[in-house]
C-alpha cells in the first residue's frame, strides 16, 4: 500500500476503528470441502441485488408511472435514452437470474443442513428474502404496463380474492379497486421502489449480520479452511464479474421485449402464463378440481401452498424435534422431494 | 316456467304449420314440385313469423275438403301470375300498419320502388320475362337479407343477379352485355367480397339499387361511387376535368376505371405509353406531361414507403424496437393514400405537396431503421470490448489470488 493509501486508512481508522474490521475479515475463515462452490451462491445473490438496485435507480430517472405514461416511458427508455435499452434489459434479466440464484442458494443451504442451530434465524430471514424477491418480480412485471403484464397481474391478483373472509377486501387493497387499473399500477410502483427495497435491505442486513456472527456452516467434518479476506473475497469478485458479463451478453443478444400496450378491453393473448418462478404454483392450482368435497379447489390449493411455505420456513424447528436417527432421511426426503416437485411442476407448467 | 313458455312460443308456428290441411295434402301429393314447396317453406322467414300457406294464398286450412279449402269465393287466390306477384307480395309488404307487427324496421316501399325500376317498367309494358319479387327472393324459401343462406345476402347477390344477367340467351332481346358477373368477380370489389369475405364491399345493388334497380346514367354513377369514395368525387368535381367531362357526358368514374371490371388503381393508369389518359389526350400534350409528373410523384412516394418498410423489417428482425419508425412509416402510408386520392384534382402541384410529406416521413423512418441496425452492430462491438475487459480483470484477479495463496 502506498503512502497515500496508508494515510487514508490511518485517517479512517482514527475515526472509525476500521483496522479492527479488516483484522476481523482477515481472520474470518471459510470451510473448504467438495460443496464449497455453493458458498458463492449467496454472494452472487447479493451482487445481483446491488445490480438491481443500481439499474433500478437509473430506470427511475426516466420511468413515469401511470396508465398513460408507463408504457410510453419504458418505450422511451428502450429506444431513446442512451444505454436505456441496456439498463432495462439488465434489470429484467438480472431479476430473473437473481431469483434463480436465490433458489440455488436456498436449496444448497437446506441440503447442507446449514439451517440447524444456531442458524435458525438466518434460515428464516433467507426464506423471507425469497418471498420479497418474488414480490419484487410480481410487482415489477406490471410496471411496463404491457399486455402480458396486465393479464398476468389480473390472474395473479385474482388468486388473492380467493382468501376466505378477507379475500375481496385484500383484492381491493392490492388493486386499488375492483379491477387492474392505473391505481394498481401506482400501488405496485410504490411497492416496487419504496416498500420492498426498504424491507429487502433490512432483511439482507439482518441475514448478513447473522452470517458474519455465526460464520459459515461446515457441510462435513473437513477441517480445512481459507481466509475470507482476501482469498474467498477475490473468488467472489471473480464470479461476480463473470455473472455481470453473462447478464450483459443476455441483455445484448436477447433484449427484453416490450410488446403491446395494456388494453383493458382487448382479449387476453393466447397461452398467457406467469413468470417461470410462479409456474409451479400456477400448475398446481390448475390441476385441482373445481371442488374438493365442499371446499373450492382453488381455495384448497392456496391453503396447501401456504402450508407448504410455512412448513419450509419452519424447517429448523421441525428438524430439531425429528428423532436423531431419522433426521438425515427426513431432510433428504423433504429437500430432494421439494426440489423435484418444484422442477417437475415448473416444467409441466411451461409445456402444458 | 319462463323456459316452457318460450319453448311453446317457438314451437307454436311450427305446430300450426304442420297441422294445416294445406301442408297435409300438398306434402302427401304425388307431385314432387308440391312436396318441394312444403319442404322449402319449412325454413322460410314467413313460417318462422307464424304465417302459413293461407296467409298469402287465402283459403281455409282447417277444411279437409279440397273444394271448401280452396274455394275462391272464400278468398282463395291460388298461384299468382308473374305479372301479379309484386302486387301479391305488396298486399302485406306495402302496408306499414301490418308490417310493423312483424318487423318495424323493414321498409314498406319495395312495391313502389319496383314500379320505378327497369324491371317494373318493363313488367308494366307487358314483358313477362323481367324479374319479379320471387326471382330474387325465391317463392317459398325466403330468408332475411342478413342471413348468409339468403339469396339476397351480400355474398350471394352477384349470383342471384347473374342468374339472369349472365344468361346470354335470356338477355339477347334486351341487347345488354352479359359479362358483368364475370367482370365483377375479378374486380377489386368482387375480390374483396368473394375472396376476402368483406361483406361491406359493394355488390350489384349497392350501385344499382335493389327494388328500384336502374342502369345508372351519368349523374347517377357519380353519386354512387362518391358515396364511398367521397374525397375522390369531391376532388374530381373541383378539377379542370369536371367541365369537359360534363359536356361530353362522360361517366365520372367509369370512364377511366370501368364500370364492373374495376381494378386496384396503379400508376400505370397515368402512363404516357398505355395509360387511360391516352383515350382522350395525345402523348405529347401538356395534359400528358401533367399525368407523367403526377405518376413520378406517386412512384417516388410508393418506393420510399416500400424502402422504409424493408429497412424497418430488417431492423425488427434483429430485435430492435422500431415503434417510432413504424409511426413515421404509418404517416408515410397515410400520405401515399392521400396523394393517390389527390390525383383526382389533376393538379401535379397538389399531388406533389402531399406526396413530398410522405416521402419525407418514409425517409425518416428508413433512416431510423438504418440507425437501429448500426446501433445493433455497435452493441455487439461494445459487448465484445466489455467482455475482453472483464476477462482481463478476472485474469488479473486470478493471478493476484494465486500470488497471495502461493505466498501464504
Lowest mean pLDDT among A122-136, B91-105, B107-121, B202-216: B202-216
Q: What is the percentage of chain B residues whose pLDDT exceeds 90?
A: 66
Q: Give me the mean pLDDT over the B88-114 stretch.
A: 92
Q: Give me the mean pLDDT over the B265-275 stretch.
A: 92
Q: Are A123 and A316 in contact (CB under 8 A)?
A: yes
Determine, for residues B397 and A238 on separate chains, whether the beta-carbon distance falls below 8 Å.
yes
Q: Give me the mean pLDDT over the B326-348 stretch.
A: 96
What is the CB-side half-sphere exposure of residue A64 using CA atoms within 13 A?
9
- Tell me the chain B residues in contact with residue A252 when contact means C-beta distances shorter than 8 Å: 379-380, 382-383
Kindly report the nearest CA distance between residue A230 and chain B, in angstroms.
Answer: 8
Q: What is the percentage of chain B residues whose pLDDT exceeds 70?
A: 93
Determine, for residues B390 and A230 on separate chains, whether the beta-carbon distance falls below 8 Å.
no
pLDDT category, B10, cuts 50, 70, 90? Answer: very low
Cell output for A309? 411455505
Determine, for residues B390 and A231 on separate chains, whether the beta-carbon distance falls below 8 Å.
no
Q: Are B288 and B282 in contact (CB under 8 A)?
A: yes
- Nearest Cα neighbor of B174 from B223, B122, B211 is B122
Instruction: Inform me whether the C-beta atom of residue B324 falls under 8 Å from chain A C-beta atoms.
Output: yes
- Tell me the chain A residues in contact with residue B389 when contact means C-beta distances shorter than 8 Å: none
Determine, for residues B321 and A85 on separate chains, whether the beta-carbon distance falls below 8 Å.
yes
pLDDT at residue number B3: 52
Cα–Cα distance for residue pair A99/A279, rounded to 1 Å:
13
For A276-281, the CB contacts below 8 A with 24+ separation are A276/A96, A276/A346, A276/A350, A277/A96, A277/A99, A277/A100, A277/A103, A277/A134, A277/A137, A278/A134, A278/A138, A278/A156, A279/A345, A279/A346, A279/A349, A279/A350, A280/A341, A280/A342, A280/A345, A280/A346, A280/A349, A281/A305, A281/A345
For helices A39-60 and A233-253, give the axis angle rounded to 10 degrees. 50
For residue A331, is pLDDT > 50?
Answer: yes
Determine, for residues B383 and A235 on separate chains, whether the beta-carbon distance falls below 8 Å.
no
Determine, for residues A231 and B379 on separate chains, whether the beta-carbon distance falls below 8 Å.
no
Lowest mean pLDDT among A37-51, B46-60, B376-390: B46-60
pLDDT category, B161, cuts 50, 70, 90? Answer: very high
CB nearest to A248's CB, from B383, B391, B397:
B383
Cα–Cα distance for residue pair B204/A32, rounded to 1 Å:
88
Sign, Cα dihedral of A264, A266, A268, A269: negative
Lowest mean pLDDT among A196-205, B12-21, B166-175: B12-21
Give residues 387 to 406 of B whose Cβ lies within 8 Å of A: 387, 390-391, 393-394, 397-398, 400-401, 404-405
* Interstrand relation of A291-292 and A295-296 (parallel, antiparallel or unpaired): antiparallel
- Identify the H or E element spanning A162: none
- Nearest Cα neighbor of A260 from A247, A252, A270, A269 is A269
pLDDT category, B88, cuts 50, 70, 90? Answer: very high
pLDDT at residue number A1: 61
Cell 442451530 belongs to which residue?
A117
Q: Give me the mean pLDDT over the A221-226 stretch.
A: 79
For residue A214, is pLDDT > 80?
Answer: yes
Determine, for residues A230 and B401 on separate chains, whether the beta-carbon distance falls below 8 Å.
yes
Instruction: Choose between A104 and B218: higher pLDDT.
Output: A104
pLDDT category, A102, cuts 50, 70, 90? Answer: very high
pLDDT category, A24, cuts 50, 70, 90? Answer: confident
A-B C-beta contacts closer than 8 Å = 47
- Tell me the chain A residues in contact with residue B319 when contact means C-beta distances shorter than 8 Å: 254-255, 257
Cα–Cα distance for residue pair A94/B220, rounded to 1 Å:
68
For residue B1, is pLDDT > 50?
Answer: no
pLDDT at residue number B7: 47
- Nearest Cα neighbor of A113 from A331, A260, A322, A259 is A331
Sign, Cα dihedral of A119, A123, A125, A126: positive
Instruction: Choose between A36 and B156: higher pLDDT.
Output: B156
- Tell me the chain A residues in contact with residue B393 when contact means C-beta distances shorter than 8 Å: 241
Cα–Cα distance for residue pair B267/A164, rounded to 1 Å:
69
For residue A46, is pLDDT > 70?
Answer: yes
CB nearest to B397's CB, from A86, A234, A257:
A234
Q: Give me the mean pLDDT over the A215-235 stretch.
A: 83
CB nearest to B400's CB, from A234, A252, A254:
A234
For helices A84-111 and A70-79, give the axis angle rounded to 10 degrees. 100
Distances (CA, A) of B304 to A24, B269, B277, B315, B367: 70, 20, 25, 17, 11
Helix (H, G, I), strand (E, B) or coil at A291: strand
pLDDT tens for each residue of A294-318:
888 888 998 999 999 999 999 999 9
For A269-275, the CB contacts below 8 A with 24+ separation are A269/A147, A269/A148, A269/A151, A272/A148, A272/A151, A272/A152, A272/A155, A273/A152, A273/A349, A273/A350, A274/A152, A274/A155, A274/A156, A275/A96, A275/A137, A275/A138, A275/A141, A275/A152
Kindly report the nearest CA distance between residue A111 and chain B, in angstroms.
Answer: 30
Amino acid at each position: 500500500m502506498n503512502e497515500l493509501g496508508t494515510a487514508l486508512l490511518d485517517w479512517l481508522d482514527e475515526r472509525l476503528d476500521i483496522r479492527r474490521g479488516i483484522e476481523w475479515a482477515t481472520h474470518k475463515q471459510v470451510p473448504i470441502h467438495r460443496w464449497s462452490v455453493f458458498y458463492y451462491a449467496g454472494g452472487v445473490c447479493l451482487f445481483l441485488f446491488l445490480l438491481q438496485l443500481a439499474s433500478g435507480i437509473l430506470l427511475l430517472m426516466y420511468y413515469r408511472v401511470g396508465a398513460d405514461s408507463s408504457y410510453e416511458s419504458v418505450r422511451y427508455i428502450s429506444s431513446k435514452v442512451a444505454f436505456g435499452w441496456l439498463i432495462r434489459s439488465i434489470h429484467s434479466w438480472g431479476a430473473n437470474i437473481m431469483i434463480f440464484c436465490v433458489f440455488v442458494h436456498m436449496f444448497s443451504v437446506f441440503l447442507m443442513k446449514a439451517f440447524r442451530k444456531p442458524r435458525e434465524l438466518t434460515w428464516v430471514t433467507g426464506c423471507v428474502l425469497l418471498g420479497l424477491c418474488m414480490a419484487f418480480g410480481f410487482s415489477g412485471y406490471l410496471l411496463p404496463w404491457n399486455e402480458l403484464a396486465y393479464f398476468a397481474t389480473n390472474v395473479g391478483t385474482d388468486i388473492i380474492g380467493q382468501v376466505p373472509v378477507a379475500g375481496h377486501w385484500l383484492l381491493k387493497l392490492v388493486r386499488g379497486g375492483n379491477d387492474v387499473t392505473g391505481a394498481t399500477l401506482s400501488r405496485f410502483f410504490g411497492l416496487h421502489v419504496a416498500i420492498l427495497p426498504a424491507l429487502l435491505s433490512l432483511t439482507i442486513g439482518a441475514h448478513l449480520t447473522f452470517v458474519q456472527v455465526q460464520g459459515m456452516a461446515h457441510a462435513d467434518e473437513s477441517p480445512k479452511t481459507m481466509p475470507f479476506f482476501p482469498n474467498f473475497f477475490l473468488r467472489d469478485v471473480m464470479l461476480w464479474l463473470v455473472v455481470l458479463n453473462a447478464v450483459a451478453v443476455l441483455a445484448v443478444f436477447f433484449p427484453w421485449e416490450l410488446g403491446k400496450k395494456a388494453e383493458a378491453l382487448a382479449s387476453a393473448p393466447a397461452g398467457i402464463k406467469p413468470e417461470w418462478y410462479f409456474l409451479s404454483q400456477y400448475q398446481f392450482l390448475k390441476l385441482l378440481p373445481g371442488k374438493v368435497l365442499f371446499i373450492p379447489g382453488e381455495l384448497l390449493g392456496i391453503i396447501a401452498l401456504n402450508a407448504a411455505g410455512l412448513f419450509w420456513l419452519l424447517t429448523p424447528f421441525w428438524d430439531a424435534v425429528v428423532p436423531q436417527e431419522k433426521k438425515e432421511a427426513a431432510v433428504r426426503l423433504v429437500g430432494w422431494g421439494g426440489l423435484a416437485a418444484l422442477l417437475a411442476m415448473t416444467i409441466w407448467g411451461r409445456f402444458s | 316456467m319462463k323456459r316452457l313458455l318460450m319453448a311453446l312460443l317457438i314451437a307454436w308456428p311450427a305446430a300450426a304449420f304442420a297441422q294445416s290441411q294445406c301442408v297435409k295434402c300438398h306434402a302427401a301429393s304425388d307431385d314432387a314440385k308440391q312436396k318441394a314447396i312444403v319442404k322449402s317453406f319449412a325454413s322460410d322467414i314467413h313460417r318462422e313469423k307464424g304465417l302459413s300457406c293461407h296467409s298469402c294464398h287465402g283459403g281455409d286450412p282447417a277444411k279437409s275438403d279440397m273444394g271448401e279449402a280452396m274455394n275462391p269465393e272464400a278468398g282463395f287466390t291460388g298461384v299468382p301470375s308473374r305479372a301479379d306477384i309484386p302486387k301479391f307480395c305488396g298486399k302485406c309488404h306495402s302496408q306499414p300498419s301490418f308490417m310493423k307487427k312483424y318487423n318495424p324496421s323493414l321498409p314498406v316501399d319495395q312495391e313502389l320502388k319496383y314500379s320505378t325500376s327497369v324491371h317494373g317498367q318493363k313488367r308494366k309494358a307487358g314483358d313477362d320475362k323481367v324479374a319479379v319479387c320471387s326471382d330474387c327472393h325465391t317463392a317459398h324459401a325466403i330468408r332475411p337479407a342478413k342471413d348468409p343462406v339468403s339469396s339476397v345476402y351480400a355474398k350471394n347477390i352477384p349470383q342471384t343477379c347473374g342468374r339472369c344477367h349472365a344468361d346470354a340467351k335470356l338477355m339477347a332481346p334486351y341487347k345488354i352485355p352479359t359479362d358483368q358477373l364475370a367482370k365483377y368477380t375479378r374486380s377489386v370489389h368482387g375480390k374483396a367480397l368473394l375472396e376476402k369475405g368483406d361483406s361491406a364491399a359493394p355488390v350489384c345493388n349497392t350501385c344499382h339499387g335493389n327494388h328500384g334497380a336502374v342502369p345508372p346514367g351519368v349523374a347517377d354513377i357519380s353519386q354512387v361511387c362518391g358515396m364511398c369514395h367521397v374525397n375522390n368525387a369531391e376532388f374530381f368535381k373541383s378539377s379542370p376535368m369536371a367541365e369537359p367531362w360534363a359536356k361530353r357526358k362522360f361517366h365520372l368514374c367509369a370512364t377511366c376505371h370501368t364500370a364492373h371490371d374495376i381494378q386496384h388503381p396503379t400508376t400505370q393508369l397515368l402512363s404516357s405509353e398505355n395509360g387511360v389518359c391516352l383515350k382522350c389526350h395525345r402523348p405529347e400534350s401538356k395534359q400528358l406531361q401533367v399525368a407523367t409528373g403526377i405518376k413520378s410523384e406517386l412512384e417516388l412516394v410508393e418506393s420510399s414507403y416500400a424502402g422504409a418498410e424493408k429497412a424497418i423489417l430488417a431492423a425488427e428482425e434483429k430485435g430492435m424496437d422500431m415503434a417510432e419508425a413504424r409511426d413515421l412509416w404509418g404517416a408515410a402510408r397515410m400520405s401515399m393514400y392521400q396523394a393517390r386520392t389527390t390525383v383526382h384534382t389533376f393538379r401535379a402541384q397538389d399531388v406533389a405537396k402531399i406526396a413530398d410529406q410522405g416521402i419525407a416521413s418514409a425517409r425518416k423512418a428508413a433512416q431510423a431503421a438504418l440507425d437501429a441496425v448500426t446501433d445493433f452492430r455497435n452493441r455487439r462491438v461494445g459487448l465484445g470490448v466489455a467482455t475482453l475487459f472483464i476477462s482481463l480483470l478476472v485474469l488479473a484477479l486470478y493471478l493476484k489470488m494465486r500470488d497471495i495463496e502461493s505466498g501464504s
